[in-house]
Each structure stands twice: as structure tokens, then as C-alpha cells.
Amino acid sequence: LMLFSTTLDLIQVSDIHGYVAGQKRQPQFADFSNLVSYVDRAKQQNPTLFSIVGDLCDGTLFSDASEPRCANMVALVSKSNVDVFTPGNHDLYFDETVSLLKKLPLVTSNVVYKNGSVLFQKLLQINASLRVLIVGFTVDNNYESVVAKSVSELFDDGFKTIIKELVLKNDFLVVLMHQTFSHSQTKEFYQEIKQIQKELGHQFPFVMQTAHGHQQYANYCYKDKSCYMVEAGKYLQYLQHTRITFAQTTYEYKNQTYKGVQFDKIDKIFSGPFYLHKFNGKPGICDVFNVQNIDTPNGAKISKFVKEVQQQTHSDVKIADLKFTLRKYQDNFMQNDSILNYFVNVVVKSTFKGSCSCFTQMGVGSIRSDLQKGLVDLEDLHQVYPFSNKMLFIHNLTLNQSNCLAQELKSPRYMVGKPEGECQDFVFSDHDESFVQQAMEKCQIQRGVQQYGNMTYEQAFQETVVKTFGIQRFERFNTAFILGAIASVLVIIYLIFITIALSSKAKKGGYRKIQNHEEMTYT
């Protein structure tokens, strides 16, 4: 990457989560191939740094139906014109995926293998007329094979000294921060950089490209004119393209004069929904270059690859027909059309078969999108719940124990079912196991956690949707018609698992809109 001027374009996306083929039912949005073409055109006009700030994985069948998980996304991005990538938390959950990421232009400063070895390069320097130093940070967590250190752990580990030394040899710092702009960790990282500025006596410019929170943001950091912060939303629904013009400057450090730069001007070339053309009064990416067709040869190759993968996943198989939308509410989980309510009171209760009554809890963050009314396919269902979390349970709790658990687990972002009866089985996802274990300790519950066969929440959701909303349930079928329909479906190999789910005895009669989930007709 060659930078020959004091102007630099920064193009940023993050939290793609496999959404590389555009947005279903929203054709106004561009796709990943259009993004590659857009970057091609931008690089022809001005020095450009294109970054992806984490979370390629977990979201669509394109990203998740491969073996190992996310292999298609890694292959796709490796074919693109991305200059730098830092992993997000969803890219680090599986060891096989972590190994794949090494094929990408990675930089992360706080992720290491548990055995202590360095995972990726800590820093990236681009040496040209404008010298750019790039660091990466991923939200701290303990993953299967790697650990992401916290901000304090990172800077206590000598990182501050390294940054300080390298800033003297560079003009401009870019922080790829897979943590959202409003989080305390982001401010803590910012304050560490400000301390380095203070020690050097030079307000060197830096940009914090944040992510993880699925938000859109572009402004100076805490009103600090030496720092600019940008976040680019989620699912390739938003694009940030910023042009920074720098002014030359000098500064003194330890009786030595250094050349540096400062922000002169910051322009938003594109900051908005990732529309292909103008839509609802907002510009599209074609408008930036005043073209009708954004595609470049590189973009065409990417588009071909995406279509080939989609054909292999059979993601457009229609399996159900909804007469109303199940919605992802952020607050009112108890709405009749709340998909979280549907999970807690229908999906889990109809899947888990135990000797006691069943209650459960789920976080709103587990549900990724609405399930739209009309015909839905495998891709629709996967996009609602794209995680292969195992179903765990605690057997034979008393009502008092269950009520205690329900109280401890309740929070603004969780929905907890209501315990009923003297004997309870508490069902939950392995994603929440540590959270549940803490609640068990507070409630003084000493019971073993068991796994419910090989059932995952994703499988439970898909099978329950077929049982409650399967296409055949909205017409009055006689027995001969049902048998004929099943026989026809069996001809298509990739629908075998769906026909098994539909072979359960169906009640006669058409669909009626629910008043509450107990009135749903499922078998």
C-alpha cells in the first residue's frame, strides 16, 4: 500500500456477520462485491486504507454452513482488496476459525494463544510519505484457544513503551477497536493514547475505528480535535468513508526535533446506509463516483464466488408461511408477536421433554433479527438465530430454587420464564452457562448441569417453526392430500429433514392469529 500525499481516505466496515449478498427483501442495499468495486474506485482516486473491524462470522448460511465455520467468509475476504483486518469476538469462538484467519491481513495487539505464543502481528506500519501506524484491539474475553487481554493488561505488558517508540517514527495512528464507541473500554484505550501524547509533548493525530456495538458514529473523540472516532454499523448496512487532510508540523522531544502531522480537515465522503443508488432521499455509493454501474472486474469475481457458495447451501428452500411478523423487541419481550417470547414459551417448551415442568431464560442479544411475515426459508431462520449453542438443563429444582434462579437471572436484556409446579427443569444455552453458574451459587443450588442430547437452540428453533408455521398448516388438507404432498417433497433430497418434521400429526383447520403463545397450534 503506497501513500504519496498528506491526504488519506479511510474506508471502514465492521460486524458483517456473513451478510455479503445484500439484504433480503431490501434490494436498495449494495453487497460485498459492490463494496470491493467501491474501494477499487476510491483507490484509483486517492490513497486509501480499507479496514474491516471484526466479526466476519456468525450470521448467515454463507458464513456458517461451511466446514470449518466461517471458511467461506475468510476465502471471500482473502480475495478482496481489504488492507487490514482485526478479529472480533465472533471470529475467535472456534479454534478452527482462528487458524483460518491467519490467511488475512491481520493485526491485533491483545489476542494471544493460551500457551502464550503471539497469534498475529501486533502492529502494522505503512511507510511512505505519510507514515501510518496501525494497532488492533478485540473485546477482552477467554475463548477456546486464545485469550484477548483487557486494555489495562495490554498496556501493562509493555505495549505503551512500544507505541511510544513507534509514534516517534510515524505520523498517524489508526486503532482498529472491536469495541463500541460508547463503551468504557474504548475510553480507557483513548486515555492511554492521550497519556502517550502528554509524555511526548505532541498531539499526534489518531483515528479510533470502533465496532462490536452495531452502531453508527462519526465525530471527534470526546471533543478532542486530535482524535476522530468512527463506527460503521452492522451487516453491511452502513459504510463509513472518511477523507483526512493533514498539515505538516514539527515538535521537540528530548532535545530532538521530529517531523509530524496534524489534522487539517476531515470530510465525510460517504457516511450512511449502504445503498447502491439514491433511496429515500439518501445517496447511494454509485452517486459518489457519478456512475450507474459501480462494478469493477474485482467486484465481478467476488459476486461470482458469492453466488457459487449460495447455490451449495440451498438457503432459499421455503419451509413455512407466517401470517404476521415475529419481532425482535428491545424492551417489551412479552408482546404476543415477540420472537423472544416465542423462544421462551414455545420453542424450548415444545422441544425439551423432561419429567418436570420446564422454564428457561434467553438474552435479547441471542435474537439477531425479526422473522418477517410471508414465506420463509432456511436463510431467514438462520439469520434470526445463527448460533449452534447446545441446550443444557438442571433437573428437578424446587419451586423456591426456581424462583430464586429466575430472580437472579432477570435483567433488562434477559427474558426469564415463569416457574410453575413443584418440580422444575431449568433449560438454558451453553453460552450462558457461566452466568447461570453464578446464579446457582447465590441460590445455593448444588446440582449438576446436563446436556440435552445433541440438540442445539438453532435446531430447536427451526424444527418448531416448521411445526407451528409449516406451509401445510394454513390450508385444510384431507389425509390423501397430505400423503401426496409428503411423497412429492421426499423426491427432493435436501428437504428430507423438513419432511420428517412435517410428518408429525397435524390438527385439522386453518391458522388463527394467536392471542397468547398457549393458543398456538403445534404438535
**pLDDT tens digit sequence for 231-248:** 999 999 999 999 999 999
Nearest CA to 7 out of 172, 233, 135 is that of 172
Is residue 60 one of the residues assigned to a domain? yes
**pLDDT value at residue 61:** 95
Is residue 2 one of the residues assigned to a domain? no
Is residue 513 one of the residues assigned to a domain? yes
DSSP reduced 3-state for 321: strand
**pLDDT value at residue 120:** 62
Mean pLDDT, residues 17-24:
96
Residues 304 and 449 in one domain: no
Provide the CA 405 distance to its chain's centre, in angstroms: 29
The answer on pLDDT for 356 being more than 60 is: yes
Report the distance separating Cα 346 and Cα 394, nearest Å.
19
The answer on pLDDT for 474 being more than 60 is: no
**Domain-ending residue, one of 313, 334, 354:** 313
Task: Identify the burial level of 514 via C-beta atoms within 10 angstroms of its C-beta, where 0-12 means exposed, 13-18 middle and 19 or more buried.
Answer: middle
**pLDDT value at residue 414:** 85
Residues 222 and 361 in one domain: no
The answer on pLDDT for 374 being more than 50 is: yes
Which range, of 36-50, 209-223, 236-250, 398-412, averages the lowest pLDDT? 398-412
Residues 178 and 47 in one domain: yes
Angle made by CA atoms 109, 240, 220, in degrees to the nearest 5: 70
Residues 299 and 350 in one domain: no
The answer on pLDDT for 418 being more than 90 is: no
**pLDDT value at residue 183:** 97
**pLDDT value at residue 507:** 33
Mean pLDDT, residues 269-275:
98
Question: Distances in Å between the alpha carbon of 459 and those of 18, 218, 368, 391, 467?
Answer: 19, 39, 16, 10, 12
**pLDDT value at residue 118:** 66
**Domain-ending residue, one of 282, 313, 344:** 313
How many helices and strands, by DSSP H and E, does the chain display? 17, 21
Question: Distances in Å between the alpha carbon of 427 and those of 101, 122, 418?
Answer: 34, 41, 12
Query: Which percentage of the chain shows pLDDT scores above 70?
Result: 86
* pLDDT band at 517; cut points 50, 70, 90: very low
**pLDDT value at residue 1:** 43
Residues 287 and 343 in one domain: no
* pLDDT band at 471; cut points 50, 70, 90: low
Residues 417 and 275 in one domain: no
Residues 309 and 330 in one domain: no
* pLDDT band at 125; cut points 50, 70, 90: low
- The single residue listed with the C-alpha cell 459476486 is 303
**pLDDT value at residue 329:** 82
Contacts of 220 (CB under 8 A, 6+ apart): 227, 228, 229
- Yes or no: say if 321 and 509 are a contact pair by the CB < 8 Å rule: no
Is residue 1 one of the residues assigned to a domain? no
Q: E strands of 274-423, at which residues? A: 318-322, 357-363, 374-377, 390-397, 414-416
- The cell for 504 is 408429525
Question: In the chain, how many domains are there?
Answer: 2
The answer on pLDDT for 157 being more than 70 is: yes
- The cell for 489 is 417433497
Residues 269 and 330 in one domain: no
Nearest CA to 431 out of 496, 367, 523, 495 is that of 367
The DSSP call for residue 380 is H
Which range, of 65-74, 135-144, 470-479, averages the lowest pLDDT? 470-479
* DSSP codes joined into one string, 112-145: EETTS-B-S-SEEEE-SSS-EEEEEEE--EE-SS
Which range, of 24-38, 216-230, 485-499, 507-521, averages the lowest pLDDT? 507-521
Residues 425 and 300 in one domain: no
**pLDDT value at residue 158:** 82
Report which listed range, 259-263, 265-269, 361-365, is most confident: 265-269
> Using one digit for the tens of pLDDT, what is the confidence trace for 296-334?
999 999 999 999 999 888 778 899 999 999 999 877 778
Mean pLDDT, residues 87-104:
92
Report the distance separating Cα 368 and Cα 385, nearest Å.
6
Is residue 487 one of the residues assigned to a domain? yes
**Domain-ending residue, one of 313, 329, 355:** 313
The residue with greater pLDDT, 333 or 509, is 333
- Yes or no: say if 180 and 231 are a contact pair by the CB < 8 Å rule: yes
The DSSP call for residue 71 is H
Report the distance separating Cα 366 and Cα 475, nearest Å.
32
Is residue 201 one of the residues assigned to a domain? yes
User: H or E segment at 373?
Assistant: none
**pLDDT value at residue 119:** 60
Report the distance separating Cα 88 and Cα 209, nearest Å.
13
Report the distance separating Cα 245 and Cα 506, nearest Å.
66
Report the distance separating Cα 522 and Cα 507, nearest Å.
8
Is residue 331 one of the residues assigned to a domain? yes
Residue 222 maps to which CATH number? 3.60.21.10
Residues 68 and 193 in one domain: yes
Task: Identify the burial level of 508 via C-beta atoms within 10 angstroms of its C-beta, where 0-12 means exposed, 13-18 middle and 19 or more buried.
Answer: exposed
Is residue 70 one of the residues assigned to a domain? yes
**pLDDT value at residue 28:** 98
Q: E strands of 274-380, at which residues? A: 318-322, 357-363, 374-377
Residue 398 maps to which CATH number? 3.90.780.10
Residues 390 and 263 in one domain: no
- Yes or no: say if 130 and 3 are a contact pair by the CB < 8 Å rule: yes
The answer on pLDDT for 228 being more than 70 is: yes
| Domain with 60 in it | 7-313
Residues 289 and 435 in one domain: no
Mean pLDDT, residues 246-274:
95
